[in-house]
Structure 1
Amino acid sequence: MLRKNENNRTENTDYRELYENAHDPILIYSLPDLVILDANNAAFKVYGYDRNELIGLSLNNLSTDADAIKKNSKKLSEEKVYMKFETVHKSKSGKLIDFEVNATLFNYKGKLVILAIHRDITKRKKLEEDLINAKIKAEKSDRLKSEFLAQMSHEIRTPVNTMLSFTSLLKSELYDMLDEDQKDSFSLIESGGKRLIRTVDSLLTMAQIQSGNYEIKKEEVDLSNDIIRSIYESYKPTAESKNLEFRVIKGSENFKVIADDYSLRQLFTNLVDNAIKYTDSGFVEIRMFRDNSNDTKVTVKDSGIGISKEYQSKLFTPFSQEDSGYSRKYEGSGMGLALVKHYCEINNLTISLESNKNKGAAFTVTFPEKNVF
């Protein structure tokens, strides 16, 4: 019996040492009046009270929300459950401290009381608040950027479209009176205006995608008879003007997919536009086929200037171009392939490249079998 009592005293001493030396503040308070009966060293340090000041103090003197304290204590005493909640207390100096509280019922000197471990989460809450504020700020910035670009798009489109309309009208009215140089001048005005509108559209689309405001509409799309055919017909005159062989290879099979029509159309428009732009002689080819995994692939291949191995890692970065500066031979904003990459991602497609400098390029877009029917 004597040995048992000695063991109990040793055990109680060990628990007391753990309690006193715990890193987190621990409060023991009575029910239902919530008077602090005991506290550990960490509690005195964090709250800034001496032992004789803190012991006997009502928990309401520490809490910034007395109603929540009463509600949680009542629930704990009635339901006899372990509770975890967050609260805000104030120290003796008035400093507010965010706590994560783990509370349970506890037998203290023959009475049922509450033992609550308070973990200081002030830094975590501040970080969470900073993250929320940063998110709000970023969303506001994205919204303002989108609004600005939309407004700029309107401000640029309106006069440019007016200019293009009058240019087309003048050209048709005066065509028989113009010499070849004057006809070329009209063509330059038209191509320059259309290029400016395409650049504005690309900027606006890029901003929408990056801010998460680009809305996609997945639907049944006829890839071969609609999208590829219309792009082919649209770019055929441009290819012929450069004496390029422009061909589509697909066999007798039709290819229908589930995708966002607009982004898919823009994806292949950009690839074909680049292929023709960067090819001065030879061919541009669009090939559609199914591989051994039954995935549908569309390859846009050309015999153009190609892309160096060193540059390929930067290929899909916005505004990047292998040949940069005012001396560059080919025009462009550097957004085309960056948009292609984004268009692939929002449609759950993959894109790969095979190319060497001065040996042409082949971009292959893969549609998973589940996206094809």
Structure 2
Amino acid sequence: GQGGLEEKDFCLKDLVEKTVLTFDLRAKAKGLRLNVIYSADLPVEIRADQRKLTEILHNLMDNALKFTEEGEVKVRLAKLSDSRIRLQVKDTGIGVSEKEVWRLFDKFYRAGGASSRKYKGTGLGLTLVKELARLMAGEIEVKSRLAEGSTFSFTFPYKPVGQRTVPRKDRAELEPKVTQRSAKDINILIAEDDDSCYYVMARFLRDYTTSRAVNGKDVLEKTKNKSYDLVLMDIQMPELDGLEATREI
């Protein structure tokens, strides 16, 4: 279950960038920019519930990318005090009207009304965010304007660890490292034994540098010798299936 706090010491910047980077391919596919901005006094390490914070950011990012067709998704982190930090996710998406804003956290509510059929998903992501925010003793707020975008602000308590703040070179406008690389610099391993399936995937990912593995053993061999940004794994493969190979990596 989600109940109870599981506090631990962790690097806040690492958590944010790793989570944001998981959306890089989706953002590139839609032509969206991803930006991360840190306040100058943001602590490097904090003590808080790392798992819940990751889930909150993941769901807010997922929501932002789902409803944004052009522009950018911006993540801001600011230290409000020695015990509170604010995490904001701002998008340039479809937004909602002022009278609809309060419904965004309702189960199964879909932004965009009838047109939202094209936006897949259960609509439970923001409901989960609200519950996780409550469990972390935090507050979640949203501001939105129809056809202009939405800003979700999550304020949460933390305990400082040490005195370090984010280095000067990482302050102000900062894009996740991978968003500064060209698509061809991103290496993707496609684990697929079926030729037709492989060629469809390779064509879809033609802007990236792709390699192929034909079975689980081939995956293990290739990942030993080279570092990949993403491995797309088929579950049913000869010799060693995708699940076994994933456990081995």
Determine if the alignment matches structure 1 residue 343 to structure 2 residue 101.
Answer: no
Cα distance, 1:357 vs. partner? 0.8
Query: Relative to 1, partners in 2 of residues 1:285 and 1:326: Cα closer, same or farther, differing over 3 Å?
Result: closer
Residue pair 2:10, 2:46 contacting (<8 A) in 1 also:
yes
Structure showing the higher helix proportion among its residues: 1
Amino acid at match of 1:244: L
Describe the SS at the equivalent of 1:271: helix
Q: Which string of whole-angstrom CA distances, capped at 9 and with x for unpartnered residues, describes residues 222-278 of structure 1?
A: 2222x2111121111211111111111115644433322222111100001111111
Match of 1:241 in 2: 29
Cα distance, 1:323 vs. partner? 3.7
Cα distance, 1:293 vs. partner? 8.0
Match of 1:318 in 2: 107
Describe the SS at the equivalent of 1:300: strand
Once residues 345 and 307 of structure 1 are traced to their aligned partners in structure 2, the CA distance between those partners, rounded to angstroms, is 23
- TM-score norm. by structure 2 comes to 0.58
2:18 to 230, 240, 245: 230
Cα distance, 1:351 vs. partner? 1.1
> Runs of 5+ in structure 1 lacking a partner?
1-207
2:142 to 353, 364, 369: 353
Amino acid at match of 1:274: N
Cα distance, 1:340 vs. partner? 0.3
1:266 to 55, 63, 66: 55
Describe the SS at the equivalent of 2:118: coil
Describe the SS at the equivalent of 1:262: helix
Identity %: 29
Once residues 348 and 327 of structure 1 are traced to their aligned partners in structure 2, the CA distance between those partners, rounded to angstroms, is 32
Query: Relative to 1, partners in 2 of residues 1:366 and 1:231: Cα closer, same or farther, differing over 3 Å?
Result: same
Residues 260-299 of structure 1 mapped to structure 2, 5 A cutoff: 260-291=49-80, 295-299=84-88
Query: Relative to 1, partners in 2 of residues 1:358 and 1:236: Cα closer, same or farther, differing over 3 Å?
Result: same
Amino acid at match of 1:295: R
Once residues 367 and 216 of structure 1 are traced to their aligned partners in structure 2, the CA distance between those partners, rounded to angstroms, is 12
Query: Relative to 1, partners in 2 of residues 1:326 and 1:356: Cα closer, same or farther, differing over 3 Å?
Result: closer
Residue pair 2:142, 2:151 contacting (<8 A) in 1 also:
yes
- The structure having more radius of gyration, on CA atoms, is 1
Query: Relative to 1, partners in 2 of residues 1:372 and 1:332: Cα closer, same or farther, differing over 3 Å?
Result: farther
Once residues 238 and 363 of structure 1 are traced to their aligned partners in structure 2, the CA distance between those partners, rounded to angstroms, is 20
Cα distance, 1:367 vs. partner? 2.2
- TM-score norm. by structure 1 comes to 0.40
Residue pair 1:296, 1:372 contacting (<8 A) in 2 also:
no
Residue pair 2:76, 2:89 contacting (<8 A) in 1 also:
yes
Query: Relative to 1, partners in 2 of residues 1:277 and 1:322: Cα closer, same or farther, differing over 3 Å?
Result: closer
Considering Cα pairs closer than 8 Å and 6+ residues apart, tell me whether 1 or 2 has the greater RCO: 2
Cα distance, 1:309 vs. partner? 1.2
Q: How many residues align?
A: 160
Residue pair 2:95, 2:146 contacting (<8 A) in 1 also:
yes
Which is further off, 312-321 or 331-340?
312-321
CA RMSD of aligned residues (A): 2.3
Match of 1:127 in 2: none
Residue pair 2:82, 2:159 contacting (<8 A) in 1 also:
no
Describe the SS at the equivalent of 2:151: strand
> Runs of 5+ in structure 2 lacking a partner?
162-249
Describe the SS at the equivalent of 1:362: strand
Cα distance, 1:355 vs. partner? 1.1
Once residues 274 and 237 of structure 1 are traced to their aligned partners in structure 2, the CA distance between those partners, rounded to angstroms, is 15
Cα distance, 1:284 vs. partner? 0.5
Determine if the alignment matches structure 1 residue 334 to structure 2 residue 92.
Answer: no
Q: Which string of whole-angstrom CA distances, capped at 9 and with x for unpartnered residues, describes residues 62-111 of structure 1?
A: xxxxxxxxxxxxxxxxxxxxxxxxxxxxxxxxxxxxxxxxxxxxxxxxxx
Q: Which string of whole-angstrom CA distances, capped at 9 and with x for unpartnered residues, describes residues 299-322 of structure 1?
A: 111111112211112221222223
